[in-house]
Amino acid sequence: MSREGRRRTARPMLRTIATRASAEVARHADQNLTALYLDMMAAERGAGTNTLAAYGRDLEDFSAYLKGAGRSIARADTDDLRAYLGALSRRGLGAATQARRLSAIRQLYRFLYAEGHRSDDPAAVLEGPKRQRALPKTLTLAEVDRLLSVAGKSEPAAPLPERLRAARLACLVEMLYATGLRVSELVALPISAARKDTRVIVVRGKGNKERLVPLNDAAKHAIADYLALLAQSQPGAPSKWLFPSFGESGHLTRQHLARELKALAGAAGLRAAQLSPHVLRHAFASHLLHNGADLRVVQTLLGHSDISTTQIYTHVLEERLKSLVRDLHPLAQG
Q: Is the separation of the CB atoms in 286 and 136 below 8 Å?
A: yes
Asked about 221 being catalytic, the answer comes back as no
Asked about 226 being catalytic, the answer comes back as no
Which residue among 182, 220, 251, 282 is the active-site one? 182
Number of DSSP helices (H) and strands (E) in the chain, helices first: 13, 2
Which residue among 67, 137, 221, 304 is the active-site one? 304
Asked about 278 being catalytic, the answer comes back as yes
Report phi then psi at 19, rounded to 5. Answer: -65, -45
Q: Is the separation of the CB atoms in 215 and 200 below 8 Å?
A: yes
Please compute Rg for the chain using Cα positions.
27
Which residue among 37, 109, 226, 313 is the active-site one? 313
Amino acid at 186: L
Q: Is the separation of the CB atoms in 41 and 208 below 8 Å?
A: no
Which residue among 27, 165, 206, 262 is the active-site one? 206
Which residue among 117, 278, 290, 320 is the active-site one? 278
Which residue among 101, 146, 168, 281 is the active-site one? 281
CA 145, CA 328: separation in Å to the nearest integer?
29
Asked about 281 being catalytic, the answer comes back as yes
CA 219, CA 180: separation in Å to the nearest integer?
12
Count, residues in the chain: 334
Asked about 256 being catalytic, the answer comes back as no
Asked about 206 being catalytic, the answer comes back as yes
Tell me the catalytic residues: 182, 206, 278, 281, 304, 313
